[in-house]
Each structure stands twice: as structure tokens, then as C-alpha cells.
Structure 1
């Protein structure tokens, strides 16, 4: 059994680099290569939706030069991989507020989204300038502005106003580097997600590590509130 929607918290680039006497930027470069390989592998496996926690709102607190390097890596990745995304029939979507990003970054992201909008093989969500709490606040404001009566608000109403509207909630969330928390990631969508934590730093999370996570996921019984005998 494979997850229909896999979400990943890509953690540990800096610690991976430090352990090797490298700069943090080298860690982020290695992490970008890992992300590229993961996208390809998930497409090969037939996973329909992949969400990568790429840049959180909290990441603005990092040094300015590191933020600039992250933006450079993002734009380079999208420029280099656009043709590959199209050939693999992968549609790009963004979860988060892009308005705070530099104009050049926004341009590249918008161009990639437009060029892949008709792809249907897999949806690749990049969580950029993302915050789970802010996503919920945004959803509630949009619901209020739409004129929907509070008596008519349901789980489905909220889901329809999230960035992931129209997509299934993540079945599995993977976090690398040994940390065991969601870090403001997909808070509403993760209600029944299976969680998988590994000590492996993100740049070392290869296909073999993905297989371990997927094997672990397939062995779990997802009850959604029912008893085991009801499944």
C-alpha cells in the first residue's frame, strides 16, 4: 500500500554539512539534489501528490545570506527541472504566500506553475513562505468573506479554503534528521496522517530510505477512529 499523498519535512541540511566540514550552502545544495531524486522516485512509484516543506515563515529569521542562497537554489532548481517536470507530467503548485518573495523568484515560480498547469501525472506542492496556522487564519477569513453562515461550516468547507483544496490529505508525513514535531506544517490536513521520523539527515535520504518509510507505512493499520475488527 502506497500513500496517495506523501508530505515531507526536509530537515538536516545544515547539520549534514557541519558534520562534513562544509558550509551550510553546500548542505542546501545537497538537499536540493535529494529533493529532485525524491520527486522522480515518487513519480515512478505512482504517488499522486507530493508536498515538500521548502521554506517556512519562520525561516525568515535565518541569516540574510542563507535566505538569499535558498532563493537562488529554488530558482535554479525550477529553471533546470521545468522540462523534466513536463516530461514526467508533474504539475507544480505552491502552498503559501509568495508576495513576500523577491520579484525574480516569484516570476520563476509563476512561470513553472503556468507551464505545468495541464500536467496530471502527479502534483508537486512546494510549501513556500508557509505556515499552518496562517493557512487556517487565511481560510477562516475567506470563509467569512464568502458569506457562508457559521452554522453551515463543516470540515469540507475548511478543506475547500486551504491551499490544498481539491487534493487528498497527506496519508504519510516524513521528517528527517531526528526531530519529532510538525513545525507548523499542514496542521489541519495532518489530522489522520501517519508520521514517520528518521535520524537520517535530509541529504542522505535516498531511495533506500524512502523504501523503509513506505514499508513502515504499509505495515500500519489505519483505523480512523474504528476498532481493528471493523477494518
Structure 2
């Protein structure tokens, strides 16, 4: 297909996908895989692949803001990446320094109030990278309209391990009792500033695994996952919109499953005994096929109080299995 025709088709497809979307995930996490393979295929160096990948990263940030995403996390450099050749890593560190400072000074970042944060064991990075990270964070610290997390020297298990050790030390010192350890206690110790639960993970490059990426925030929230074959420098807006559509389909399935479970419980146990189930059916009835929807609202009996604040307790797992 001629290149100009391919571009026309892509534009039309993007418009179709955009019209199909009715909502957006709040937090998207991306595993930017395939920079080096992209470079090898075209006869270039790994550094050229990483530089091409940065251009995609800048476009994805714009696409996220266009559809209403509020937080984006990029898996940029893992702890395992330290095992790569020194020359390759040094070039990547130079690129990170350049782009972090460039981005922190960009008008579009300040106009859109983008807060740049680094997550991971940044103390393992060279001094020049740490200085660039500090500069970007200081320049954008007061913003909160959009959050851009850069995962550097990152390992999901190591973060959880450090949080657990931190809690153990505080229990040993008497600063916190075992009974006080809850979800918030762990989350506060994972990162310096809060990270939202992940709604969607995107991985490019063809591999179908999440590589220990944000396990607490993604697995705990049962995030939707979108795997695609293009290398990161080739990732297109159509690919991005397809990923968002995957998230929407997962959300629709989640709502439909909860409504069906609640209806089944009402039928088996009785309406008067399950105010929470009635509330869930009323909340998610539009996600059910027309033939499965009960007629009218399932109002509680006059002498029975509403189940305010307890709707989620019926099924907090968010399972999507039909």
C-alpha cells in the first residue's frame, strides 16, 4: 500500500476509534519495549533506538492528555538493565539527562501543569542522572493536573520488599502496632508521593508479560492489559486508542459480572435480605443485556434503611470472569 494511502487509512481509523470511546482510564502504565530491536532491524545502534523511542513517549503524553488520562507511568529503566553493556547504558543515561532537563523546561509541560516524578531506586543511578531527576522534580513539583512517573532503576518486588521492611522496623520500634498495618500503611511507604491505582498496562514489542511492573497498584486493581506487536518507536495513536478501548471493554465486563452476581443472590436468598445486592443491580443495570435487566428499580422496603457506604462489600474483587 502506498505510504500516503496508508496515512489516510490510519487517520480514518483513529477517528473511528475516537468516536467509539466513552471514557478513559485514570492511570496508564507503559512498558516501552522494542527500542533496541527496532534499531537493529534498521541497522542502527541501540542509542538510535532509544532516541526514536523518546519521540513516541512525547506523543503518548499528548494522547493521554487528549483523552483525559490523569497519570502516566513509563517503565524506562529497570534494575535488570544495569546488566547491559556499559557503553549502551552510558548513552542512555546521557539521553535521560538531556530529555529530563528539556522536558522540565518545556512550555507545554508548564502550560499543562505536568508533575514529573521518578519512582525506583534512583540512588543507584549515576550522579548526573540523579541531578537531572532532581531538577525535573523541583521544576514541576507544585503541579497536579497531570502526573508523569518515570520508573528508573525500578523493580516492583524490591519496592514491596523495602516497604515491608519499613513497616517491620516501625513495629519493632513500637511506632506502629501490627493491628494498624493496612493498605494505606504499605502505600505510604512505597513512594514518596501517592501513586494512583493502575487502570491499564500497555506493553509494546510483542512480549505478553508485565515484567514485575507496579505489582501493588496494577495487580491489586486488576488492571486491564494491552499487548501489541509494534516496537515502541512504531507505537501509533491507533494502537493507543485500541488500548483504551480494551480498558473500556474490561470495565463493561466487570460491571456486567457484578450485576449478574447480585441478581443471582437476590433470586437465591431473597430481596429483603440483601440491600447491597439491590444497590449493585440498580447501579450497573445498564451494563446488562436488555433481556436480563429487571423491570423498575429495586427499591428497599419502606422499613429498611439503605446500605449507604457498603455497596462494594458484596464483591470487592472486581473479577471479570463471566
Q: Please give the range of the TM-score, normalised by the shorter of the 2 chains.
A: over 0.9
Task: Give CA-to-partner distance per residue, 1:8-40, whole Å, 9 cap, x none.
Answer: 000001111111111111111100111111112
Q: Shift of residue 167 of structure 1? A: 2.8
1:77 match: 99
- For 2:156 and 2:177, locate their aligned partners in 1 and report how far apart those are by CA, in whole Å: 24
Residue pair 1:55, 1:128 contacting (<8 A) in 2 also: yes
Q: Which residue of 1 aligns with 2:237?
A: 207
- Say if 2:86 is the partner of 1:64: yes
Q: Is it true that 1:216 corresponds to 2:246 in the alignment?
A: yes
Structure with higher strand content: 1
Report the Cα offset of residue 228 of structure 1.
4.6
What's the TM-score once normalised by structure 2's chain length? 0.68
Aligned counterpart in structure 2 of residue 112 of structure 1, from 109, 123, 136: 136
Find the aligned partners of 1:65 and 1:186 in 2 and give their Cα distance.
Answer: 28
2:176 to 148, 170, 175: 148
- Who is 2:287 aligned against? none
SS at match of 2:190: coil
- 1:109 match: secondary structure: helix
Indicate if the aligned counterparts of 2:36 and 2:50 stay in contact, CA closer than 8 A.
Answer: yes
Looking at structure 2, the residues matched to 87 and 113 of structure 1 have their Cα atoms a distance apart, in angstroms, of: 16
CA distance in 2, matches of 1:199, 1:148: 47
For 1:108, what is the secondary structure of its paired residue? helix
Q: Tell me the C-alpha RMSD between the 2 structures.
A: 1.8
1:2 and 2:24 are equivalent in the alignment: yes
2:258 aligned partner: 227
Q: C-alpha distance in 2, partners of 1:134/1:159?
A: 14
TM-score scaled to structure 1, two decimals? 0.93
Structure 1 gap ranges (5+) = none
Matched, 1:14 2:32: no
Higher relative contact order (CA 8 A, sep 6+): 1
Q: Does 1:51 align with 2:81?
A: no
The Cα offsets for residues 71-130 of structure 1, whole Å up to 9 and x where unpaired, read as 111111112222332222100111111111111111111011001001121000000001
Distance in 1, matches of 2:104 and 2:69, equals 19
Which residue number in structure 1 is paired with residue 61 of structure 2?
39
The structure that has the greater radius of gyration is 2
What's the CA shift for 1:164? 7.3
The structure whose residues are more often helix, as a share, is 2
| 3-state SS of 1:200 partner | coil
For structure 2, list consecutive stretches of 5 or more residues without a partner in the other structure. 1-22, 263-283, 285-322
Check the 8 A contact 2:101/2:135 in 1, yes or no.
Answer: no
Shift in Å, 1:222: 5.4
Q: Structure 1 residue aligned with 2:145, among 116, 121, 126?
A: 121
